[in-house]
Chain A
Amino acid sequence: MKLMHFIGGATFAATMALGGLAPLAAKDGGTLVMLVQPEPPSLASYLSTSGPIGLVAPKIYEGLLDYDNDLQAIPSLAESWDVSEDGKTVTFNLQKGVKWHDGEDFTSEDVQFTVMELLSKIHPRGPNSFREVESIDTPDDHTAVFNLKNPAPYMMRALSGYESPMVPKHLLEGKDYRSADLVNNPVGTGPFTFVEWKKGQYIRLDKNENYWQEGLPKLDRIVGRFIPDASTRTAAMENGEVHYGAYGAIPNIDVVRLREMDSIGVTTDGYAMINPVSLIEFNTTKPPFDNPKVRQAISMVLDRQFLIDNIWFGYGNPATSALSSSFAATGLYAEGLPNYPGKPNLDAAKKLLDEAGLKADGDGERASITLDLIPYGEDWRRAGEYMKQALGDVGIDIELRYEDVPTWLKRIYADYDFSMNVNYFYQLPDPVLGVHRHYGTDQIRQGTHFVNSSRYSNEDLDALLAKGAQEPDAKKRSEYYAEIQNILANDLPVANLFEMKFLTVFNSKLKDHDTSGLGAYGSFNKAYFEE
């Protein structure tokens, strides 16, 4: 395998297959080949949340915490932590004997530097996650004390190696963070060390022999391969050339076929931290959607299960609230809300439209509306075509509009020149991180993507959102969120469609790749091959 540096594409694939197969008999060792799609722009997960970076970087960088499949925090670089009574002081006791891949010691100085200088300043979501952090004290090398302005329980869900990677202060301090050598040559504390990146082909990570967790990692090597063509990816998975593909690397239509094979496993686990939900954004400032009854009527007409079954091949759950049902694990999800029918209710919808003054004319037509669609592929077009039919049944004539990504983003988030827009959002592991941005008055940020484009503004709701964000008591917090969801189900500035399920396809010899709630964005430190 030392020849690796000198050989190119085809030979590489063959060697990979051998390297992958030979050690299969052993429980430890082996090379995992995973699909990374598309090729990442860099490996600086402290600068960008781009998807492919998330597949590679968390194997190299670790966070203070990790999360299990129930989204409960488990120790990572912090061996224990303590939140003070008033929620304003969070103390992390760090693991001892952790070293960076270059041999330097990992200390609380690194934590302070990473959070204060990088994450809360230049990370895309960090400024929100760490917005209450005033300062971080470092009484000794193994203790980091976060001083908060207000309680921030959601922050405790944003400390994974994917969301908030700890990076080495000694390699970044005094340098330009965006162009430092570390951007493409990551040095972390994680189970795998970065070895090489052959542009257009693969990224290679080798086992960290000095990893602080005894006996881990089990794999010898992880190779992330870039294969731009979807059917080639499917074929590579089918013949065992690659072992792992997540985030739609293998299209659903092919998964339906592959899942029948014994050598291939399929799971929807590992996306709970991402929590994607598809939805319709209504322009609440313009008729007819300035009237909540019209928004309710739309929600009553749509057969969410039909979309899931016929377009997404059964992978998804109908939405029943502004929050995804995965928040049930943290007690924030509310059930039995109005305007999210299990089956479409056309009579109720027609009645609502009548009440809103949208009466049917001679041809049975009530209104003519343009529906914008997220330009992320064929599935969304099919969804639009279905909605056009379904809404036509209650007299709403729909014209579909499908544009290129920049034009669409500008139309929805800068010009607000739309009536209703089909989209999907990551709700992330806490509503503060992923859900508040739809609804808060402070989230009407013209020009910023994926925020409150409905321009919905409700003082009562704003107050509840603020309370929900700061409430440390779980029971009180869930009461706030129950009320929030009730308001949103009635006002419906955004009608959620369904909770999306991304698919991870893997070789069934690969085990324990799914021990983290982060799934493909996890560290893979326990993954191994079985004979």
Chain B
Amino acid sequence: MRNLLNFLLKYNNIIVFLILEGIAFYWLTNGNTYHNSKMVKTMQGITRRMEGRITNAKNYLSLREVNLQLAEENSALRNRLEQFNHADAPGFDSVNDTTAGRQYIFTAARVTNNSVNKQKNYFTISKGSLQGVEPDMAVTDGNNAVGMVVACSRNFSVAISLLNLDFRLSARLKSSGHFGSLTWDGRSPRYAILNEIPQHISVSEGDTIETTAFSAVFPEGIGIGRVSGIKKSGSDFYRITVELFADFRQLQYVTVIGNLKREEQLELESQYQ
């Protein structure tokens, strides 16, 4: 007994260190798998209110830029509306069913927490399950893909950012329609990598990269970025560097896009895969 006590006294530093380090690593491994970002959300619940205030102040300072962006979007939508007005109106139209013929629903949200300097970045948005946001909905900054919702609380959602080593996105060349898979290599928040485009296809710098509807998350044709560098890797594929359209460093308002027909598509596909 005395020996044991002596032992404990002699090595108390190492024992305290190992116990605390054990707790920290348990926390680390538990909290860092893809789907456990729910846990991140719980822990952030404590600091959320404070971050909300900081974000408020930041938003106020950049109202001018946001205004400009909204004005541009408005004008684009007006143009769009004009096209519809001139098209021949169909004869009878039921107004009761608001979802008839619709596949996608849109809602705007504010970004309350965001990071770009980690290897696995997530951001938090200010709408949750009460506002109809669900996991697996797409997130854009208005025009361009920025991420995907992974977890929702009642009033907040956590989305995995495109700037995350775990995130993969099906993307295609706008010009030819050939598709590949877009990932981030963890280097710069301005660039991502498009793989799996075979080398016999002609690609040139400046080509637009956009989303496909294959994963039933993003609608087809949402912008991602433009080709800024093409390298032939050892295999038969290109390694294309994509300059992202979205500026992740000043992400403030996002549009969340839900796919009303996603479950139908996945259910049908699951019978054959």
| A and B bind | no
> Which residues in A have some Cβ–Cβ distance to B below 8 Å?
none
> Which residues in B have some Cβ–Cβ distance to A below 8 Å?
none
